[in-house]
Structure 1
Amino acid sequence: MKKLTTILLVGLLSLVLLTACGGKSGEVKELTVEMGPNGEMVFVPDVLEANEGDTLKITLVNKDPAVAHNFLIPALGVNSGQVPAGQSSVIEVRASQKGEHEIICDVPGHLESGMKGKLIVK
């Protein structure tokens, strides 16, 4: 009986430790962001929100009829690469740091024309 009690206590303690050390796992949120609709230098929406630990599965839709765009969150090391005009790409972003993080398109002239937004991580 003493051996069974010891095994149960060790198992319970292990479960508590694993739960405590697991960190925030968050949820998976699916979002769509349009880039350059009608040739405008904007992201739609230009503000994204998440909770710390969430994973964002973002479908980037380039609505620009002629120009490639990209989607960067420099503070989180996110870079979608070029998304050609009229095409889509899917990226995953881990909301690992609380705060407001700038989203930009760094194709020459696009940021200066207003192609920016922010990710707010609570």
Structure 2
Amino acid sequence: MQHSKRSLMFAAAASLLGTTTGAGAHGDEKHPKKAGPVRKEQKDWGIAGDAKAAKRTIDVRMLDTMRFTPDRIEVRQGETVRFNVHNAGKMLHEFVIGTKKENEAHAALMVKFPTMEHEEPYMAHVPPGKSAQLVWNFNRAGEFEFACLIAGHYQAGMVGKLIVAA
């Protein structure tokens, strides 16, 4: 009886360790995009937009020089914009909309956990030579930024200014 209790406890502990060690680290494996509707969560910089409501498309290029073109974007409060984001470089880049504070915190996390993956409607991971699209409704006025938060890219200056005029 004592031996089976000990085996059961060991098996339970091993299964718990197995579920926590892989959490948050995805390595290089590719994950399929989630099917279904985009999660609309209000952020300080707006909310996920409906593609049918987008009246303007803004093309953004990401470069291995750690720069965006353009590096400054102006929109009006209430405007829904479609971003066509093209990675013109040879390394992975991303386009993330947020506040300076949010992006700084997220960039610091990416340095600690460089293989961390995430999928939010205000961010796009774009492999070299590929393009991605995101649609965002800027329902809050203010100064925000778009950035690449891949480890070291934000710190190297891969950030642009986003002005939302009231």
CA RMSD of aligned residues (A): 1.8
Question: Which structure 2 residue ranges, 5 or more long, are not aligned?
Answer: 1-52, 103-120
Equivalent residues in 2 for 1:1-122 (5 A)?
28-36=55-63, 39-64=64-89, 66-75=90-99, 78-80=122-124, 82-122=125-165
Query: What TM-score, normalized by structure 1, do the two folds share?
Result: 0.71
Query: What TM-score, normalized by structure 2, do the two folds share?
Result: 0.53
Q: Structure 2: which amino acid aligns with 1:72?
A: V
How many positions carry a matched residue from both structures? 93
Task: Work out which of the two has the higher radius of gyration on C-alpha atoms and give 1 or 2.
Answer: 1
User: Could you tell me the percent identity over the aligned residues?
Assistant: 32
| Preserved CA contact (<8 Å) 1:35 1:63 | yes
Q: Structure 2: which amino acid aligns with 1:71?
A: F
State how far apart, in whole Å, the 1-side matches of 2:54 and 2:62 are. 25
Question: Which structure 1 residue ranges, 5 or more long, are not aligned?
Answer: 1-25
- State the structure with bigger RCO (CA 8 A, min sep 6), 1 or 2: 2
State how far apart, in whole Å, the 1-side matches of 2:162 and 2:139 are. 11
